[in-house]
Structure 1
Amino acid sequence: MSGAQLPVYSVSQVNGYLKELVDGDPLLRGLLVRGEVSNYKCYPSGHHYFSLKDEQGSIRCVMFRGDAARLRFKPVNGLSVIAYGRVSVYPRDGQYQLYCTQLMEDGRGALDRAFEELKKKLEAQGLFDPAKKQPLPAYPRRIALVTSPAGAAVRDMIRILRQRWPLTQVLVVPVRVQGEGAAEEIAAAIHQVNNRDDIDLIITGRGGGSREDLWAFNEEPVAWAIALSNIPVISAVGHEPDVTISDYVADLRASTPSNAAELAVPDQQQERQRLEGLTLRLRQAMEVQLDRDRKELTRLEQSRVLRNPVAVVDDQRMRLDGVQRRLAMALERTLRRGRVELAGLAGRVDAMSPLKVLSRGYAIAKAEGRAVTTVEQVQPGQAMDVLVADGVYHCRVEEKEEQQWR
């Protein structure tokens, strides 16, 4: 390479040339760019600087004060937006960037924000409280399907319900599941079903679709209808990754409508096997009890009571006679012992009787009704009564003399 063959350009010349190329491209003079806001900054001058990025790249953006004044929302990092403007090169540093004149919220970003705002609001009001979840009936007699009557989802649910548990009756409550007014229609249908007394379970939902298609189940009227339902509700919206507000409020969330049907009723084959197992255990328990009763009956049959009941009665009669004899003998001994003890007591009582003492020549002197035991109790001239064995005589004290008897 020879310097004489190629001209030499300055950096500013190269940057200026690139700017002319970019500015001259019709595509880059006015285009829409979708991306996520990052590195957002608003300077005191009123100019906004940020980047738009997606999974594979990013582009620097600037929005001058005059255009920024017309914004109807405040850009924040992470917000999905659509920017309109032109791409040009900034000559000073050679960086190309998007000069935005308009900035709009991307529909997907707006939906995400609306979803999170409503979710936060309803959660604060207690609609997601696990304590408020109603248990599902084990064997529902009738299930109401609040869904579109024309979709594959309703056909799948009916088929699975009939296969798993034919005893359950199915009531289809037709509603629109997308579009304007769909949310109000779904909510009204849930309220209508609650006015009946023959419905045990409600399944509401639809098959898969875009975020916008499923949006009716993210609306507040549907959420409140589910929350106020006295009948347990299963939410079955879209496919496994799809999560709606209805899923949070419902008593049970199913990943798909088909899964909702599986969760709603038992499987008749499994129930049959369970009943067969219970029957087998019951039969075994009965056989064990019967065997125990047979052994007890055999033992009783071999006992002496049943083989020779007369001999058993005779033995008991003899035992009773012996008891009676021993009782009579014991009673006689007790009476004799009592007589002897009574005679002894009578003798001692008789020996201690005052009359017995008087019969031996003793007397009892009384003065003024009291027994006289000392000369100090009477005075000369005092009247006295003297009791002897066969009577009493009256006398008067002539004199008294104190005497120490030994």
Structure 2
Amino acid sequence: MIDNVILTVRDVNKYIKTLLDYDELLSNLRVEGEVSNYKRHSSGHLYFSIKDNSGKINCVMFKSDTYSLAFEPMDGMKVIIEGYVSVFERNGNYQLYVKSMKKKGIGRLYEEYNRLLEELKAQGYFDQDKKKSIPSFVDTVAVVTSPTGAAVRDIISVIKRRNKNIKIIVCPVTVQGEGSGEEVAQMIYDINRLKLADVIITGRGGGSIEELWAFNERVVAQAVFDSAIPVVSAVGHETDFTICDFVADFRAPTPSVAGEVVSEPLDNIVYTVDVYEKKINNSLKGLIDKYTEKLNNIINKPVMKRPNAYIENMEQYIDTLKDNIDLSLYNKINLLKHKVDSSEKLIHSLSAVSVLERGFAIVESNNKVITSVNDVNVKDEISIRMKDGKLNSVISEIEGE
């Protein structure tokens, strides 16, 4: 230790940076690992970490070096990086400055994510027709997240700013680490079982794929899918997508947006209520006026003023109907009698008796009426019926026409 030398923080960081910059290995190295917590800044620089099973290094790739990239990095992707290690003097953090990057493969978590994503998609977990609508007017919101994170503060702040009358139930769970997925899922089931809220918000702030992993687990996806209460997913930043987002009834890009989705501003609700109140009042007034007019019309009818006159008119009308019916029946009967008499005379004129009375005779042989000379032979016995008896004879000769 050099006596009586006091260094500034800047001096220390600069000295460490110099040591790293002049280290032969660290000034030009290749590192293999898995991308985590990836972000493309608006400046065009890339910020992420590269990790393996036992460690993690913060990385930066400046915009000028990104033009050589043939792909868009993403969390879970295995890559080989070429660059150097140095210190960012302003905060004293060492990081890997990436000059080039190549894909090596897909990380285990990303593989698992894609596998479950495709499986649930094939089973219809993401189908739009299975999603429930978010209520327009919410009374109670259940927030399933860490009770100490920034996400819950953002959600509460937005909801209370927009509508102070909405009740918020914070349902505390761990959102990271072993068992967190089961905890989130069980809380969603408990809220449904107890019917605690009109809508559920579940999620957390941003992070790496490992930090968001609870919301990529099947148990959480199943709980969200089974929920009878609509679920809003608010996991991470706008660029973060989890399986919970795809299954949920609504995916909010941030926790703050989730708070907006479930909270119709109080002023809007008051205005809507006023509009509906006016519509109801106008509708009721219209109905009352309509039926008042109908009632007045009924009251002013002559029948209501002199009900006996109406009854008397109806009695007279009935008498007239009766007379008309009697006359109609009388005429009908006479007509039928005339038809019967005419038919009787016609039948009599066509009868055998009438024919005989007019001088005609009926010739029979073997009790059968003879109508043709072909029906008998010479020497056949015949009988000739007259109006007053019969003549029996034998045919001696047949002459045809």
Please give the range of the TM-score, normalised by the shorter of the 2 chains.
0.5 to 0.7
Equivalent residue, structure 2, for 1:157: 155
Equivalent residue, structure 2, for 1:48: none
Task: Give 1:190 shift.
Answer: 0.9
RMSD over equivalenced CA pairs, Å: 4.6
Equivalent residue, structure 1, for 2:62: 54
Equivalent residue, structure 2, for 1:172: 171
Task: Give 1:170 shift.
Answer: 0.6
For residues 12-23 of structure 1, what are the structure 2 equivalents within 5 Å?
A: none
In structure 1, C-alpha distance between the alignment counterparts of 2:113 and 2:28, rounded to whole Å: 26
Q: 1:190 aligns with which of 161, 184, 189?
A: 184
For residues 13-52 of structure 1, what are the structure 2 equivalents within 5 Å?
A: 29-30=22-23, 32=26
Residue 54 and residue 105 in structure 1: after superposition, are their counterparts in 2 closer, same or farther (change >3 A)?
closer
Judge conservation of contact 2:303–2:310 (CA < 8 Å) in 1. Answer: yes
Q: 1:245 aligns with which of 211, 226, 242?
A: 242
Judge conservation of contact 1:235–1:246 (CA < 8 Å) in 2. Answer: no
Q: Percent identity?
A: 18
Residue 162 and residue 335 in structure 1: after superposition, are their counterparts in 2 closer, same or farther (change >3 A)?
same
Paired residue type of 2:180: I
Equivalent residue, structure 1, for 2:42: none
In structure 2, C-alpha distance between the alignment counterparts of 1:300 and 1:266, rounded to whole Å: 49
Q: How many residues align?
A: 315
For residues 49-88 of structure 1, what are the structure 2 equivalents within 5 Å?
A: 54-55=62-63, 75=80, 79=81, 81-83=82-84
Equivalent residue, structure 1, for 2:312: 314
In terms of Rg, which structure is larger?
A: 1
Residue 74 and residue 145 in structure 1: after superposition, are their counterparts in 2 closer, same or farther (change >3 A)?
closer
Judge conservation of contact 2:298–2:304 (CA < 8 Å) in 1. Answer: yes
Task: Give 1:319 shift.
Answer: 3.1
In structure 1, C-alpha distance between the alignment counterparts of 2:281 and 2:385, rounded to whole Å: 102
SS in 2 for 1:334: helix
Residue 353 and residue 27 in structure 1: after superposition, are their counterparts in 2 closer, same or farther (change >3 A)?
closer
Task: Give 1:143 shift.
Answer: 0.9
Task: Give 1:54 shift.
Answer: 2.9
For residues 126-145 of structure 1, what are the structure 2 equivalents within 5 Å?
A: 126=120, 130-131=126-127, 134-135=131-132, 137-138=134-135, 139=138, 141=140, 143-145=142-144
SS in 2 for 1:216: coil
Q: 1:273 aligns with which of 267, 271, 275?
A: 271
Task: Give 1:194 shift.
Answer: 3.7
SS in 1 for 2:178: helix
TM-score, length of structure 1 as denominator length? 0.60
Judge conservation of contact 1:146–1:186 (CA < 8 Å) in 2. Answer: no
Judge conservation of contact 1:165–1:266 (CA < 8 Å) in 2. Answer: no
* 5+ long unaligned stretches in structure 1: 1-24, 38-51, 59-72, 86-102
In structure 1, C-alpha distance between the alignment counterparts of 2:359 and 2:64, rounded to whole Å: 150
- CA distances 1:180-234 after superposition (whole Å, capped 9, x unpaired): xx332431321321442125554344456xx56x8511x2664434322233544
Equivalent residue, structure 1, for 2:293: 295
Asked if residue 224 in structure 1 is aligned to residue 218 in structure 2, the reply is yes
For residues 374-385 of structure 1, what are the structure 2 equivalents within 5 Å?
A: 377=376, 379-380=378-379, 383-385=381-383
Judge conservation of contact 2:126–2:246 (CA < 8 Å) in 1. Answer: no
In structure 2, C-alpha distance between the alignment counterparts of 1:241 and 1:288, rounded to whole Å: 51
Task: Give 1:286 shift.
Answer: 1.2
Task: Give 1:325 shift.
Answer: 2.7
Residue 166 and residue 183 in structure 1: after superposition, are their counterparts in 2 closer, same or farther (change >3 A)?
farther
Task: Identify which range, 28-37 or 164-173, moves more after superposition.
Answer: 28-37
